[in-house]
Amino acid sequence: MSLLHMAILLPFLYAAALTVMRKPSLRFHTGWIILPIPVLLFVYFISCMASVQAGEELSGSIPWIPSLNIRFTVFLDGLGLLFSLLISGIGSLVVLYSIYYLDRKKEALRNFYVYLLLFMGAMLGVVLADNLIILYGFWEITSISSFLLIAFWHNREKSRYGALKSMLITVLGGLAMLAGFVLFYIMTGTFSLREIINNAGSVNDHTLFLPALVLILLGAFTKSAQFPFHIWLPDAMEAPTPVSAYLHSATMVKAGLYLVARFSPVFAGEALWFWLISVCGIVTLIYGSFQALKQTDLKAILAFSTISQLGLIMSLLGLGSAAAFYTDGSDSVFYAKATMAAIFHLINHAVFKGALFMVVGIVDHETGTRDIRKLGGLLSIMPITFTIAVIGTFSMAGLPPFNGFLSKEMFFTAVLGITELDRFDSQTLLRLFPVLAWVASVFTFGYSMMVVFRTFTGRPQFEQLEKKPHEAPIGLLLSPVVLAALAVVFGLFPNLLSYTLIEPAMAAIHPALLLPGDRFYVSIHMWHGWTPELFMTMGVAVAGMLIYKLHPRLSVLHEPLFRRVSLNLTYDAGIKLLHQGSLRMTNRYMTGSLRHYVIYIFVFLILSLGWGLYHYGAISVNMDRFAPVSLYEIVINLVLILSVIAIPFVNSRMKAIILTGAAGYMVTLFFVIFRAPDLALTQMIVETVSVALFLLCFYHLPKLEKEQTKPRTRIVKLAISAGVGVIMTLVALSASGSKLFESISDYYLRNSYVLAGGKNVVNVILVDFRGFDTMLEIVVLGIASLGVYALIRLNLASDRPEAVRKLDFANRLNKDRLPSNDVILRTVSKVAIFIILVFAVYLFFTGHHHPGGGFIGALMTAAALILLTMAFGMATIREVIPWDFKRLTAVGLLIAILTGAGSFLFDAPFLSHSFGYFNLPLLGKTELATAVLFDLGVYLTVIGITMTIILTIGRDK
């Protein structure tokens, strides 16, 4: 566990603590207790800067799923540091801003900050992870926390729509990325990023290499809102503005850029990589900037602006990868300058766009609207906000002396430079890059001017606003002021960043270009002389101003691009289609008829077992090992088969019960024949108790009626049941006729007495070898008995149909009113009960060595009690045995569990039993086993359960 791990886990732990904390008092804003976290992280990452600059790599590793080769490994290099500083730095400012932005009395602040911390930790995890699976996991957590934050005002329809859209798109990309990672594992045998990068070039010819490339890019493009996956970002603007500033402009949307930068050492040099990224980036740039011109909502303008700026950085990363086409040092360094521009612009964008989002938040907060058609003339009221807005927008437009100017110039250098690339036969296509870049910059200039001047200058129209506007409080201004100041500082002194952040990050993206100990030369200057870039900037300013001035009159900017087709419509239609399609498909087989579901199950059983038997040639009937048959057995068999077959044909409840009971008793006889005394005893008692139960219940049920079914249905029923029957016969024959491996039964036979001190192997298995199973079984039974109790006690009496007859048998049990006058039964049972009870206790105690045990003893006892109830009525039972049988169940379970837990006292695993021989007074040498204690628990539980069931049903009128 290194400090890096701590840095990632800290926000998660804090978020977890926040959820269980007592509701924070309203006296101060929850944000204040969150703020220390990002600040602390920021300070920590700043302190790491020196060592990263010196080329050291901090790392740590914890095994997580060793069997799958997954370790929680993290490392910090230049690229990771750059992003970590962005995450923690912007994070601190955003938390500070949110304290003044979100009302502490009205908003669910705890949820907000929990989600925000989740995001912070996950994002740090993404940029610091070395293991690809870890990276993927954190990547998805960022998607989920973004979903939660967008839907923060979840009672708004649009918030939920935007949240779902962003999650569907980013998670889809995330899954593609995971597939790409898995392909890498198949190719390289490792999930470690650093190992993959160190062995870059070794798998380039693999057939899976290009699929992996495309899949990973899908992840990057969806996350970074590249065309055509950008459609989620404008809808994500439903989130509170601090979230938009943080996730949807400064950090999360840059995760895609991070991924591209991170994988550059592996993929750079691949033509597909170069083309996909550069083209997708430049298209996104121009499309986003054009769309931004058409918006009227300030946040929507910024959203499309973010899309276009992300495209800009993306295309720069693509152009930078051209460096890998050359082996010659000077050419490579020439193209690597694009990468430098990318990193620099990434920082600049986070700074000025963060400031602008906060400005828009302030305007929204103080005026109640973000619609530029309603705004205007705020300059006189909000001078500080205006100043920040000017710095932010001028920087975005690429005007000196702000940081945006520098990176925009570097961008022009890069696109001009790429026209000289001679590796492909596509000079015309490459020449388009400077043209597109220039046009997009003009658009950017235009909307930048719109943001600032349409809001702050012009005719004031305050009467249209919901609130009376005034300057924001100092707390709200603090964060954007810091960012605006940074925009100026980075503009005037860009070299503050060159060797602290930019060079180490470049070294991480282009490791192959550096000899050991070497470093890139990074120097950024405002003035380059009268270069083509400068003339381009001048042109941009002139054309941009023109667009801004003409904007209201350009009708193309006020109508949708295509009326009938748009990506958003496609998305909506796709979602609708998926929803309806799956509904239709589900409705086709989920008919609501349980019978159909049972049919599916049985048909599947027939097919799978049949296929298995056939495919593995398992059908083998080996008659000669079969046991001999006696006439007696054949007769039992015949009785069984006949009574069973007769059941579907009878139309009286009583006949059906009796036939089922007959089948049960025949099975009991089979148990006797097949040397299973315990089973025979159990089955016999259960059968008896069951018949009593059946009789109790049958009177509550309607008469059996002849089923009116269509012939077709009957044929289906017959076919399925016959199929199951045949398959089961085959399974029984094949299994008994062959022996593929040694059974574990011999172990029980050999060790039953040696290890457990019991001679009745079946009982020993139940209470000792498989005691845990038995314990859970009685728990299940206990639940069933409580279910019966609850079902009957449920108040259903209100709407009982007339058809239900009230019945004498139930009443006979319910003897509160009518005393039984069955003299013979009463007289006989007085004696019989005691005999049965004594026998039951005998069966219980003898169970360890002879047939019997807890189950059988308990069932026998219950049978005696039921007889008592039948003869003397419910009231007598309540007098004689004044216990609540549900309590008895609980006591039994408790005894069983305590016996099991007792073995902890002797440092043995749960339910270890022990036995020994003791000389007791009167009884002489006696064996005492803790298993008997456990069996006592079973005994009491089963009595409790059986009596609860029977008495509850009997009491029910």
Partner 1 sequence: MELYMSMSVGVLFMVGVYLILSKSLLRIILGTSLLTHGVHLLLLTMSRLKTGAAPLLGEGANSYVDPLPQALILTSIVISFGVTSLFFVLAYQAYRKLGTDNMDLLRGKEDE
User: Using CB under 8 A, which residues numbered 575 to 634 contact partner 1?
Assistant: 592-595, 598-599, 602, 621, 623, 625-629, 633-634
Q: Residue 690 interacts with partner 1 (CB under 8 A)?
A: yes
* Min CB(692)–partner 1 separation in Å: 11
Pairing relationship of beta strands 915-920 and 924-929 according to DSSP bridges: antiparallel
Angle at 149 (CA atoms; ends 143, 153), nearest 5 degrees: 145
* Min CB(644)–partner 1 separation in Å: 5
List 612, 787, 819, 916, residue binding partner 1 (CB under 8 A): 787
What does the DSSP 8-state code read for residue 324? G
> What are 207's two structure tokens?
């057939």
List 184, 273, 357, 748, residue binding partner 1 (CB under 8 A): 748
- CA atoms of 681 and 684, how far apart (whole Å): 5
CA dihedral 282, 284, 289, 294 (to 10 degrees): 150
Q: Residue 479 interacts with partner 1 (CB under 8 A)?
A: no
Element (H, E) at 924: strand 924-929
Nearer to partner 1, 155 or 795 (CB): 795
> What are 861's two structure tokens?
């006892």
Q: Residue 745 interacts with partner 1 (CB under 8 A)?
A: yes
Q: Residue 655 interacts with partner 1 (CB under 8 A)?
A: no
- CA atoms of 760 and 678, how far apart (whole Å): 9
Tell me the site size for partner 1, rule CB under 8 A. 113
Contacts with partner 1, 859-898, as mask; x by CB under 8 A = x---------------------------------------
Q: Residue 641 interacts with partner 1 (CB under 8 A)?
A: yes
- DSSP lists the bridge partners of residue 58 as 76
Handedness of CA 221, 226, 231, 236 (dihedral sign): positive
- CA atoms of 447 and 548, how far apart (whole Å): 7
Cβ-Cβ contacts under 8 Å for 44 (sequence gap 6 or more)? 3, 7, 88
List 645, 715, 880, 894, residue binding partner 1 (CB under 8 A): 645
Q: Residue 654 interacts with partner 1 (CB under 8 A)?
A: no
Q: Residue 946 interacts with partner 1 (CB under 8 A)?
A: yes
Cis peptide preceding 36, ω within 30 of 0: no
> What are 744's two structure tokens?
């574990």
- CA atoms of 421 and 278, how far apart (whole Å): 13
Nearer to partner 1, 698 or 839 (CB): 698
- The DSSP line for 304-321 is HHHHHHHHHHHHHHHHHG
List 550, 573, 792, 835, residue binding partner 1 (CB under 8 A): 792
* Min CB(240)–partner 1 separation in Å: 35
- Of the candidate spans 96-104, 135-143, 381-389, 658-666, the one that interacts with partner 1 by CB under 8 A turns out to be 658-666
Three-class DSSP category at 71:
strand
- Of the candidate spans 26-34, 145-153, 215-223, 660-668, the one that interacts with partner 1 by CB under 8 A turns out to be 660-668
**Which residue is listed with tokens 């870890």?**
134
Pairing relationship of beta strands 70-76 and 58-65 according to DSSP bridges: antiparallel
* Min CB(743)–partner 1 separation in Å: 7
Handedness of CA 140, 143, 149, 153 (dihedral sign): negative
- CA atoms of 271 and 286, how far apart (whole Å): 23
* Min CB(885)–partner 1 separation in Å: 14
- CA atoms of 410 and 935, how far apart (whole Å): 83
Nearer to partner 1, 245 or 949 (CB): 949
List 372, 508, 522, 942, residue binding partner 1 (CB under 8 A): 942
- CA atoms of 85 and 127, how far apart (whole Å): 11
Q: Residue 693 interacts with partner 1 (CB under 8 A)?
A: yes
- Three-class DSSP labels, 764-775: HHHHHHCHHHHH
Calculate the CA 675 to chain-centre distance: 52
Nearer to partner 1, 393 or 814 (CB): 814
Q: Residue 800 interacts with partner 1 (CB under 8 A)?
A: yes
Residue 644 one-letter amino acid: V
Q: Where are the beta strands (DSSP E) in 44-112?
A: 58-65, 70-76
- Of the candidate spans 196-204, 537-545, 751-759, 904-912, the one that interacts with partner 1 by CB under 8 A turns out to be 751-759
CB 826 within 8 A of CB 872: yes
* Min CB(734)–partner 1 separation in Å: 9
Residues 909-928 that bind partner 1 (CB under 8 A): none
List 47, 729, 827, 926, residue binding partner 1 (CB under 8 A): 729
* Min CB(487)–partner 1 separation in Å: 57
- Of the candidate spans 78-86, 383-391, 455-463, 722-730, the one that interacts with partner 1 by CB under 8 A turns out to be 722-730
* Min CB(711)–partner 1 separation in Å: 15
Q: Residue 807 interacts with partner 1 (CB under 8 A)?
A: no
DSSP alpha helix (H) spans, 246-328: 255-267, 271-293, 298-320
Contacts with partner 1, 832-861, as mask; x by CB under 8 A = -----------------xxx---x---x--
List 93, 686, 865, 877, residue binding partner 1 (CB under 8 A): 686
* Min CB(939)–partner 1 separation in Å: 12
Q: Residue 40 interacts with partner 1 (CB under 8 A)?
A: no
List 565, 585, 701, 920, residue binding partner 1 (CB under 8 A): 701
List 794, 823, 824, 831, residue binding partner 1 (CB under 8 A): 794
